[in-house]
Amino acid sequence: MTTARLLADLAEVVGPAHVLTDPAVTSAYCTDWTGRWRGVAQAVVRPADTAQTAEVVRRCAAAGVAICPQGGNTGLVGGGVPPADGRPTIVLSMTRLTGVDDVDVAARAVGVGAGVTIGDVQRAAVAAGLDFGVDLASRDSATVGGAIATNAGGIHFVRYGGMRAQLLGIEAVLTSGEVLRRWRPLRKDNVGYDLPGLLAGSEGTLAVITGALLRLVPQTRRGAVAVVAVQDPARGLAVIDAVERAGLTLHAAELMTEAGLDLVHRHGQRRALPAGTPFAVLIEVAGADAGDLAAVLAEASVDDAAIDDSPAADLWALRERHTESIARDSTTPVVKLDLTLPAGALGAFVATVERLAAAAGVRPIMFGHLADGNVHVNLLDVDPAHAEDVTDAVLREVAAVGGSISAEHGVGRAKAPWLGLGRDAVDVAAMRAIKRALDPAGLLNPGVLGL
């Protein structure tokens, strides 16, 4: 079947207005947020619901056309954009699946479409007197489907876990066009393989997620935030430990460096600590106020801290403005490496990356989710011709000290060549077997994950 014939068929399924082919319109769907990953697609197809999604998948599979599922296109590893190798591909944009069911307050659960933003899940939960356990800076663009596909983590991972931990159920279209639906708001349901958990982190390579039944959590009505100056990450971890040992509930614990704080300051954010602070840790606690947190920090001999009752938007802005400030400041697409380090290796790793970056003539800005050992290494001004070399050097260092090459952003296209640094041969073979079983023709997000 010709591509033109397929696109005409798909227009019958979703309506002609939702099969986009004008390059001026489709280029935004084919380029990732960082501008580093660009692909090619014959069309962007925008189904309205699960039935249309299933029909689109069935027809593409019959025609042998690859499918790149996409949510808010806020991913940072090139996993949401089509391949650049010219194979016939459509981008399957899921942003029209925006249904939000009534919140089931007794079961603390809500069913939503894949195109609902994380911010809209939070608002639905709060309106029902509850909250959603995942939060991230891109909350108003990132969609539930994309966040599940990447198993996104975010700032409250330390308390509630990532997207996988929020899944009570899932709805997804298989390459056969059949709809897999597990949709019961049960906390314990141990019948066979954890398929929702498998689809979390599958990066669009196993099925197209159309909806999810999400766990909700009680609201945190009282909280406090401190930005604490520390000499090194180890001292930051010691302060976090002191806060938890004092009985406060840790809601977030984020690492920043002098270079990152200087950068967000240059991009307009007021300082909370004096310039020259080598590291800073943002700590948020739940169920306590600024006075309670100040007392615990004094007990832990912290001498420089800015403290406020939650939501403390100005303190959080110091952390949340890192990503956009980095993107605006770099002269080339930022090389973003999201990593986990064993707690004891963090300080030495930061120093090693600074050395590697100096040797490569690039600017490093590091920040991340300290309590999870999750560091976001951002390399600015990297000549695109050297992006792979510098990535290789950093990822090999991570593997050498027992860390993970992907903490919460996924593997995508960015890290696919290094999959073997993160998983051994038996593990990769088992993943390949799963991929073959669910997508025998290799049509779902080819090139992503490197399987």
Give the span between the Cα atoms of 426 and 434, in whole angstroms.
13
363 binds ligand MLT (CB under 6 A): no
Distances (CA, A) of 356 to 112, 268, 337, 368, 397: 44, 29, 14, 19, 10
Q: How far is the CB of 323 from ligand MLT (least distance, A)?
A: 4
Q: How far is the CB of 421 from ligand MLT (least distance, A)?
A: 20
CB count within 10 Å of CB 399 equals 16
The closest residue (CB) to ligand MLT is 323
- With CA atoms as reference, report the closest residue to 220 among 309, 317, 330, 315: 309
Give the span between the Cα atoms of 168 and 353, in whole angstroms.
39
Nearer to ligand MLT (CB atom), residue 137 or residue 273: 137
Q: How far is the CB of 365 from ligand MLT (least distance, A)?
A: 10
Nearer to ligand MLT (CB atom), residue 256 or residue 302: 256
Question: In the stretch 273-312, what mask flags binding to ligand MLT with x, by CB under 6 A?
Answer: ----------------------------------------
Give the span between the Cα atoms of 195 and 212, in whole angstroms.
12
74 binds ligand MLT (CB under 6 A): no
Using CB under 6 A as the binding rule, the residues of this chain from 126 to 145 that contact ligand MLT are 137
Nearer to ligand MLT (CB atom), residue 11 or residue 137: 137
Q: How far is the CB of 327 from ligand MLT (least distance, A)?
A: 8
415 binds ligand MLT (CB under 6 A): no
Q: How far is the CB of 351 from ligand MLT (least distance, A)?
A: 20
Contact 165, 216 (CB under 8 A): no
Record the tokens describing residue 339, joined without a space: 């990593």
Q: How far is the CB of 371 from ligand MLT (least distance, A)?
A: 13
Angle of helix 387-400 versus helix 346-360 axis, rounded to 10: 160
Give φ, ψ of 55 to 5 degrees. -70, -40
Q: Applying CB under 6 A, which of residues 175, 202, 323, 340 lies at the interface with ligand MLT?
A: 323
Give φ, ψ of 217 to 5 degrees. -125, 160
CA atoms within a 13 Å half-sphere pointing along the CA-CB vector of 201: 17
Q: How far is the CB of 320 from ligand MLT (least distance, A)?
A: 7
182 binds ligand MLT (CB under 6 A): no
Q: Interface with ligand MLT by CB under 6 A: which residues?
A: 76, 137, 323, 338, 376
